[in-house]
Structure 1
């Protein structure tokens, strides 16, 4: 009972301290006063307007059409999409707060489960997640890792595996998000590469993979909108297997969303990884990042994660072990490996995992314009006036620190810093060099 009380009080305390950002509330108030902001009749909160990237556009829609979208979909869908839109603009504090609103309240079953697991958690060993995965991947032809679509830190962690896997012979990076249109080259990054690669950390994952030497693979079912869930999963698995059949020495890293990489089929649903095992005869190494992280995939799991960290804190991504074997905290054998991500630490309003293990450094950007709201950094060699609307930023944010500065995270190179107001109008462009 004592552990149950600890569980409940810990979750309530975290919920009470998490806050929507001041800039989120400012933009929502501003949007409510506008009568001619760009919107459309769809319920999708995507950052595209007039065939260009417009990263504030989905927030305009979310704020102005909240009741309409909620009526047409549900709270879970609305808050998930809104969280994703906020992740795209770099407001991760608001993502963590809103991710709780789309889930059901914590149930008695979750509290009982936490009570049962508490003593086990105390006896678990931790090992560095990256090193453990690379060691296990050495004997695999297929490694599958997932993401929650509103958690860019999952893309950051996948990016951290790229060099080690490449050294082991992995040459293909298959991503669920990549555009399946054959007329879209997957040799460079732009708006058409894929939806989640338009999020800056998703874009950096792609850039890093291409620079290392990976070939990008689009494996999504191009007719998914016509097919049922199982048919979609089967076609995804078949597309991945086609790469291995074509190249008998191929080793492939697959980055997918949520439960697509589960190995366990149910009566009604067969995930992509389960199909892949049968079709290919290959047992993929599957890695879950979505269950044991902030927000998780439900309030039950989020609460379990928070209780776990209270009992056994982590400072970096780890894999839990029991008797030197990867521990399944839920006992359902969906995945081979569970990664526990630490709670996010913020500095000047930005999550610290955004530095990508030191690959990127902090750049303070002074507020150069009175009406400044949104700051973006583009690679100078990708950005020009004609293609600006198609280019994915290296980083962007509307979060400013108490000193008024905006803090971007960039690696060495030349950049175009773009200053925008709340209407997304460009106030100015400045070229800088990050040394």
Structure 2
């Protein structure tokens, strides 16, 4: 397996330095802590991360990329102890991975990929496997680890290239894996514009998702708005099979967000971003009509992380969507890009040729649904200024 990262000895030295810094910070010996950190960080910092956490944050992120979750946890613990409480969530997240590090390395890093996967992949690909060349890729925030496997099949000159995404045994991880398996079991990958899916593989406390490796380059940012809108028209026209009824529905958190604001429970920062507008009273008046609109809308499958890096364009210019780790059954209209003041409205005729819309639903109603979905996602992500703009769009609709 091809791997990148520091040696075990280097990691051990870094762990010792981080533990020393953490112990010093907890004892209010800050100068001692900076001295312990200094060898790990760029010279200009002098180890003092109280004013600038970026160097140690970068170290935590690199530790995650190397699958050294113990080192990442120590780095986040030092950041929090130094007064950067905003990293407490990352600290908790890394702690869950650190608890699995020994078992993970024993199951995935120590044995050969051929010994671990040859029989499984031979069954899935329907040909005996003669060799597997594996490269560890940089993981994101969802999967614990990501591997690229070039799988040589008996009688085939070119290898089949697969990606393996590994998840832990947390309840939220299990839910993501189950939802992904539900989606790909119900809809062919081609309908999702996704790489071919080869199912799940469970090993001890871990579950792997196996897919074809998508080839292509990330979508250029200048094409993003146009391509995303065309993809949404494609998905809006695809009626989900009834077997997806167990999927998560976006309507629920959308409406919960609206009800919280109408009940005066919105964040103070949102109220300030609205310039003192009495959003609660205005929204309470419109809420019943908005609820009826959402309830009446047909649903579609919405990719919940549709950014340029998750849209790969092949040599022929055809976009593929990767990382279907989170998806929703969402009301038609959700997902439409709205950040520009002059965001182009939807064209109902691009939908109604394939699927009927409720009586009375036109462009204004579709844009209202888009604004409600965008409001929820902005609030979930803490983007309060954006949320305020989306709420103003919602309030502008008169049903």
By the TM > 0.5 criterion, same fold?
no
TM range (shorter): under 0.3
Query: Greater helix share, 1 or 2?
Result: 2
Superposition TM-score, scaled by structure 2 size: 0.26
More strand by share: 1
Q: TM-score, normalised by structure 1?
A: 0.24
